[in-house]
A and B are shown apart, each in its own frame.
Chain A
Amino acid sequence: MRNEKDLLQLMNAHFEPLKLEIKRKQNVSVEFKKEELIQALSFLKSHSYRHLSTISCVDWPEEGEFELVYHLFSYDDLINISLKTRIKRDPGIFQTAKEIWPVAEFYERDIHDFFGVKFKGNDNLEELILENWQEIPPMRKDFDTRKFVNDKYEWRDYNGQKHTD
């Protein structure tokens, strides 16, 4: 059974992580170059980190980047590890992880719905949660939710006063 420090040493020995951090007990975060990330995922899977909890995405419009975060868990070490990487916002394409975890297909479809990130190797990127979405993906920071809501929906009229006033 590894502890958090052993895990970081293991990462340092096999890869060149940009940043290593022990967030708190049982919680580790590692930042990778985007070329190394998929390799690191399959390496960790063969080192007892078999459980892919989720994949999440953060939009950084000022830097022009998306940050992808892969959350893994090991039932032997009882440690959560977050693997982060940054990709260019335009065109926003990354490699799929579905060969390593088939379930990643659905997380990638989710991210494609909400951020518009495409995953090379995942051909089934049709809408998972949204329906008939025509605008830019809604979780991008440059999507103006308030304007969209005002255009699409009518507010209830309370004797001439709108509920949003």
Chain B
Amino acid sequence: MNNNFVKGSWQEILDWAQNKSINMLHYCTGCGAIELPPTMTSRYDMSRFGIGPAATPRQADLLLVTGYLSTKTLRRLIYTYEQMQAPKFVVGFGSCTINGGMYWDSYNTIKQLDKYLPVEMYIAGCMPRPEAILDGLLKLKKMIADGEADGYQRYQDNLEYYHQNQEAVLGEVQRTQ
């Protein structure tokens, strides 16, 4: 049997398994975090989709960035992301992560999250309702199952690009890898 074929099929099995169980680290930077408790608990109950909260970065696959990021929290977010084990996915949550949102002219909030970390997808809204969050996470599950969620691969391949952007706004950044 062709080696690539075996590898490809194995990856498909891994992707299938991965999308059934997602441990989410919700990095509550901004006001969007208030939509997560109803999403996680009995009203909307995200655990029926196989998504649950994780306690620490090392136990999580999904980094949910809920809201605006100041340059100071961006630094902590990068440390958090680099502690997570691949495969790992980043979801930007709310309009602040997309283009700065209502903080677009603030001196200390970043405007585009995908310049600093490889974002799989954004959930738009200010702030998104639990229905929108679940819809977004279901799309993410589909992306993972189809092998399209390759953010950690992109981060490795374009490490220099991401590091440059990070250092442009933060100055020196400590590296764990």
Interface on A for B, CB 8 Å cutoff?
129-132, 138, 143, 145-146, 148-149, 152-156, 163-164
Contacts and interface: CB of A to CB of B under 8 A. Distances in A.
Nearest to B171: A132
Nearest to A129: B72
Given A132-B171, A153-B169, A138 B111 contact: no
Interface size classification for chain B: 10 to 19
Interface in B118-166: none
The main secondary structure of chain B at its interface with chain A is loop
Given A132-B170, A154-B115, A163 B107 contact: no
B60 interface: no
B105 A149 contact: yes
A145 B115 CA distance: 22
B99 A155 contact: yes
A122 B169 CA distance: 30
A164 B169 contact: no
A145 B105 contact: yes
Given A131-B71, A146-B105, A153 B110 contact: yes
Q: Lowest 8 CB-CB distances: which A-B pairs, in order? A: A132-B171, A156-B99, A153-B111, A163-B99, A131-B72, A138-B107, A145-B107, A148-B107
